[in-house]
Homo-oligomer: A and B are copies of this chain.
Amino acid sequence: MATTTTAHRHRAVPPPRGFARAELEARTARAQRAMAAERLDALLLTTEPEVRWFSGFHTRFWESPTRPWFMVVPADGAPIAVIPEIGAAGMSKTWIDDVRTWPSPVPEDDGVSLLVDTLRGLPRRHGRVGLAMGPGSHVRMPLADLDRIRASAPMMLTDAQPLLDRLRAIKSEAEIDKIRHACRLAAESFDAVPALLAPGVTERAVARAFVTDLVGRGADAVPYLALASGPGGYGDIIMGPSDRGLAAGDVMIIDTGATFDGYFCDFDRNWAVGRADEAARAAYRACWMATEAGLAAARPGATAGDLHAAMWRVLQSHGARGEGDVGRMGHGLGMQLTEGHSNRPGDSTVLRPGMVLTLEPGMSFAPGRLMVHEEDLVVRDGGPELLTPRASPELPVV
């Protein structure tokens, strides 16, 4: 456990944990103004980030899929928690006062009648309850139970995904502080990677040392890590690490999503082992310059599609053909590794100050060889604030 001691010396001062009650109350007030405009009597929330955004309720217990958790946001007043009894003690410490529980798991009625009763108890003005139904969402409860709720709820369930996305897209300074801290910790661990790289060292050993270093420095968890390597380039960016041993001439990437107080960083770094061929160097430069173009374009009023276009023009001018078919070059970032919009052609999401997002240009530069860069930023009036220290402009050779 010496890692912790070593890392302490370098540790950045972490921002405060949690959120002021006033901030949580203001989120609900914002939501209720949007609900009124969309004629919703309530919002029904079923997933961890949704429930946490409104309540501040923060636990890793959602890792257990057994029990459903619900939160109902009425048109007026504070949200109502409809949750398993095992969560009552934790929820009682948030600003949510109305906590209704059942001794879950009860497969024959796992919160369904309690939830329906809760909805029945609300004023019925429009007959509509908003639930996330759109891109990137899922409803976290058994489908059989959802069907029962749809059949017996006193209101029609309707899509609230656009409303919820809009609310969460603009981060508060307290949220940004958490993301910035996660980015800083991961950046420090990326700086420690070159010392690990040598021919024969396995991808898995590098990943393991990276994660222990990152947690030792102060990350709460590293829910996402992908590591890939290959001679002259890697061919995949979502599968590793494997037991492959590094060799001179390899290019290696680590892409990580680490959290601090429930907020993610999501960025990557590339290295060459021993030597790098010109094709890899050129692809690296192209991605670096594409990121520059993305940064220049990341102004309030631009769209996510504009970001894609700016980066793609640079990649194309450096010989990229096709887009690798990964479908986008970056995305919203916050309580989830990826959330909200995508930087893709046709995404008309308008950038606004306070939005946090990644720029993730990537290209296939030879058969089976990819190059991907990623940085994180906050949209600000006057130009983006980078949350990640900018990657080196040339492919680092270790």
Q: Which residues of A contact B (CB under 8 A)?
A: 1-4, 6, 17, 58-61, 63-67, 84-87, 89-90, 93, 101, 103-107, 110, 131-144, 146-147, 159, 161, 192, 196, 205, 208-209, 211-213, 215-216, 218, 221-226, 235-239, 243, 257, 323, 325-328, 331, 336-339, 342, 344
Query: Residue of B at shortest CB range from A101?
Result: B325
Decide yes or no: A338 and B1 within 8 Å by CB, A60-B224, A215-B215 being known contacts: no
* A2 contacts across to B, CB distance below 8 A: 2-3, 6
Q: Is the CB of B134 within 8 A of A138?
A: no
Query: Residue of B at shortest CB range from A207?
Result: B220
Query: Residue of B at shortest CB range from A340?
Result: B66
Nearest 5 CB-CB pairings of A with B = A85-B325, A2-B2, A61-B238, A133-B143, A107-B135
Among A87, A136, A213, max chain B CB count under 10 A is at A136
Chain B nearest CB: distance from A374 CB in Å?
Answer: 12
Q: Is the CB of B60 within 8 A of A236?
A: no
Q: Is the CB of A139 within 8 A of B139?
A: yes
* A336 contacts across to B, CB distance below 8 A: 64-65
Tell me the bound Cα distance from A17 to B204 in angstroms: 12
Query: Residue of B at shortest CB range from A63?
Result: B224
Give me 6 other A-B pairs in contact (C-beta within 8 A), A89-B239, A107-B135, A212-B215 excluded. Answer: A1-B209, A2-B2, A59-B226, A61-B226, A86-B325, A103-B323
The 23 sampled A-B contact pairs (Cβ below 8 Å) are A1-B3, A1-B6, A1-B212, A2-B6, A3-B212, A3-B216, A4-B205, A60-B223, A60-B238, A65-B137, A65-B338, A66-B135, A86-B326, A103-B323, A104-B327, A133-B143, A135-B142, A136-B142, A137-B143, A139-B139, A208-B215, A212-B215, A221-B223
Q: Is the CB of B133 within 8 A of A144?
A: yes
* A1 contacts across to B, CB distance below 8 A: 3, 6, 192, 196, 209, 212-213
Decide yes or no: A89 and B236 within 8 Å by CB, A135-B142, A212-B1 being known contacts: yes
* A161 contacts across to B, CB distance below 8 A: 142
Chain B nearest CB: distance from A198 CB in Å?
Answer: 14
* A138 contacts across to B, CB distance below 8 A: 65, 138-143
Tell me the bound Cα distance from A271 to B99 in angstroms: 31
Decide yes or no: A4 and B212 within 8 Å by CB, A110-B135, A331-B66 being known contacts: yes
* A257 contacts across to B, CB distance below 8 A: 63
Chain B nearest CB: distance from A145 CB in Å?
Answer: 8
Chain B nearest CB: distance from A338 CB in Å?
Answer: 4
Among A67, A143, A338, max chain B CB count under 10 A is at A143
Decide yes or no: A238 and B87 within 8 Å by CB, A4-B208, A105-B135, A105-B342 being known contacts: yes
Decide yes or no: A212 and B222 within 8 Å by CB, A1-B196, A63-B257, A107-B134 being known contacts: no
Q: Is the CB of B131 within 8 A of A137?
A: no
Q: Which of B134, B209, B325 contacts A144 (CB 8 A)?
A: B134
* A4 contacts across to B, CB distance below 8 A: 205, 208-209, 212
* A331 contacts across to B, CB distance below 8 A: 66
Decide yes or no: A134 and B142 within 8 Å by CB, A1-B192, A4-B205, A223-B63 being known contacts: yes
* A338 contacts across to B, CB distance below 8 A: 64-66
Chain B nearest CB: distance from A357 CB in Å?
Answer: 13
Chain B nearest CB: distance from A322 CB in Å?
Answer: 10
Tell me the bound Cα distance from A153 to B135 in angstroms: 20
Q: Which of B107, B133, B142, B211 contacts A142 (CB 8 A)?
A: B133
Tell me the bound Cα distance from A17 to B240 in angstroms: 13
Q: Is the CB of B65 within 8 A of A238?
A: no
Tell me the bound Cα distance from A89 to B243 in angstroms: 17
